[in-house]
């Protein structure tokens, strides 16, 4: 398993002598060496309680989302935060860590099954150039404004990537390669909560906005797909205008999702180079989940994935991401979020306004 998972769970469980002690065995009791199958069995026993709780929260959040047509990520986050006490001590901690990292990376990798190169190239040069410029400038703006507000540059990059690419999914992917600090989990949760709320507001207001500007169906689709943060909200906003607008908006949004790969690779490369510059023995961690993302995009572009496989990958990706969000919620307390103040929210509002203004100019005048 990944070293950061082992490190985090070890530090969190420092308050316990061992899991054996929790089962009524004396702490420090000698145990025979485990075989490979025994190690997997021990790992399963160590992680399944927390993983089961996270999956149950994800199931409840999905049901409520379907019943009330509201963002599933937001439900999973809020429900997870109400079970924060499970992360403070007990047998759920290891499984919560596993869900918030390993399950998250599987979900991000499976996002690649949504995208084909044909969908991207079919859009033409203008939407592609607009999307690239919007993403790069939004991340740069986030890093700049965050520092001016006294926040970390990492938060600016995280929030800018979430706003510029694909909302909560991008926030989770970017957070997995940023340097880990004491505020990392809190910043990730805050970013996911805020970007989900902003995306929901955009889904309601942007169709009215493009109608007032007199955009045709194609240009309205480009604007909606290029500005709304979450894929589900893009689909909802686009098809509320017309089927043509919905199709164009979805393709533009998938173009933004495809930018997740180069953006996260670039961030991981920069972080690794800075780590090597500060410590010669620093280890460069290759984000293997992004390799999986790229492989799925390539396979889907070549027509190697049948529709049943892509549908299954999309469903599994959604379940993994919702489960990971629930686990991240359990790792964060309401008190920690309340302590951050208004500045992070202001940064994300500015990023949202920036990407909307830039896209309007591109659609209307270029």
Among the residue ranges 95-109, 126-140, 276-290, the one predicted with the least confidence is 276-290
Predicted pLDDT of residue 133: 94
Backbone torsions φ then ψ of 123, nearest 5 degrees: -75, -25
Alpha-carbon Rg for the chain in angstroms? 21
Of 79, 78, 83, 103, the closest CA to residue 93 belongs to 83
Percent of the chain with pLDDT over 70: 86
pLDDT in tens, 45-85: 899 999 999 999 999 999 998 888 777 877 888 898 899 88
Query: How many alpha carbons lie under 13 Å from residue 342 in its C-beta half-sphere?
Result: 2
pLDDT greater than 60 at residue 115: yes
Estimate the share of the chain in helix, then strand, then coil, as percent rounded to the nearest 5: 80, 0, 20
Q: Average pLDDT over the chain, rounded to whole?
A: 82
pLDDT at 350: 96
Residue 20: predicted pLDDT: 37
Averaged pLDDT for residues 151-164: 94
Residue 59: predicted pLDDT = 95
Residue 365 is predicted with a pLDDT of: 82
At residue 1, the pLDDT reads 45
Residue 26 has pLDDT above 70, yes or no: no
Say which DSSP state 305 is in.
Answer: S
pLDDT digits (tens, 9 = 90+) for 184-202: 888 888 898 888 888 878 8
Higher pLDDT, 285 or 57: 57
Lowest mean pLDDT across 28-37, 79-88, 170-179: 28-37
- pTM (whole model) above 0.85: no
pLDDT at 28 over 50: no
What's the pLDDT at 244?
A: 85
How sure is the predictor about 287, in pLDDT bands with cuts at 50, 70 and 90? low
Residue ranges of domains in the chain: 35-365
d(CA 93, CA 8): 10
Banded pLDDT at 121 (limits 50, 70, 90): confident
Residues in the chain: 366
Tokens of 141: 């703006």
**pLDDT confidence bin for 33, thresholds 50/70/90:** low
Residue 160 has pLDDT above 90, yes or no: yes
pLDDT digits (tens, 9 = 90+) for 244-277: 888 888 888 888 988 888 998 899 888 888 776 6
Structure tokens at 62: 């999905």
In this predicted model, which residue has the larger pLDDT, 139 or 318? Answer: 139
- Distance (Å, rounded) from C-alpha 334 to C-alpha 83? 11
Out of 203-217, 252-266, 346-360, give the one with best mean pLDDT: 346-360
């Amino acid at each position: 398993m990944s070293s950061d998972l082992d490190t985090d769970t070890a530090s969190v469980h420092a308050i316990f002598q061992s899991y054996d002690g929790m089962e009524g065995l004396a702490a420090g009791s000698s145990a025979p060496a485990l075989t490979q199958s025994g190690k997997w069995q021990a790992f399963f026993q160590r992680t399944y309680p927390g993983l089961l709780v996270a999956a149950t929260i994800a199931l409840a959040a999905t049901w409520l989302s379907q019943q009330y047509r509201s963002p599933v990520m937001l439900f999973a986050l809020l429900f997870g935060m109400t079970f924060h006490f499970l992360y403070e001590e007990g047998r759920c901690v290891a499984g919560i860590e596993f869900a918030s990292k390993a399950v998250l990376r599987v979900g991000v990798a499976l996002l690649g099954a949504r995208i084909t190169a044909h969908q991207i190239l079919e859009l033409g040069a203008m939407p592609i150039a607009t999307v690239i410029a919007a993403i790069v400038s939004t991340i740069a703006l986030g890093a700049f404004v965050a520092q001016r507000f006294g926040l970390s540059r990492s938060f600016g990059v995280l929030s800018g990537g979430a706003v510029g690419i694909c909302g909560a999914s991008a926030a989770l992917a970017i957070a997995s390669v940023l340097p880990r600090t004491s505020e990392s989990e809190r910043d990730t949760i805050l970013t996911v909560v805020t970007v989900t709320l902003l995306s929901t507001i955009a889904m309601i207001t942007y169709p009215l906005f493009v109608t007032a500007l007199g955009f045709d169906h194609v240009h309205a689709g480009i604007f909606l797909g290029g500005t709304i943060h979450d894929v589900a909200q893009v689909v909802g906003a686009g098809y509320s205008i017309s089927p043509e607008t919905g199709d164009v908006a979805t393709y533009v949004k998938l173009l933004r999702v495809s930018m997740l790969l180069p953006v996260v690779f670039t961030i991981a490369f920069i972080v690794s180079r800075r780590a090597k510059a500060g410590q010669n023995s620093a280890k460069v961690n290759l984000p293997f989940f992004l390799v999986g993302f790229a492989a799925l995009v390539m396979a889907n572009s070549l027509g190697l994935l049948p529709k049943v496989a892509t549908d299954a990958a999309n469903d599994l990706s959604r379940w993994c991401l919702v489960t990971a969000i629930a686990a991240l919620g359990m790792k964060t307390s309401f008190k920690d979020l309340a302590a951050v103040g208004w500045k992070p929210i202001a940064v994300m509002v500015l990023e949202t306004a920036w990407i909307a203004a830039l896209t309007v100019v591109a659609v209307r005048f270029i």
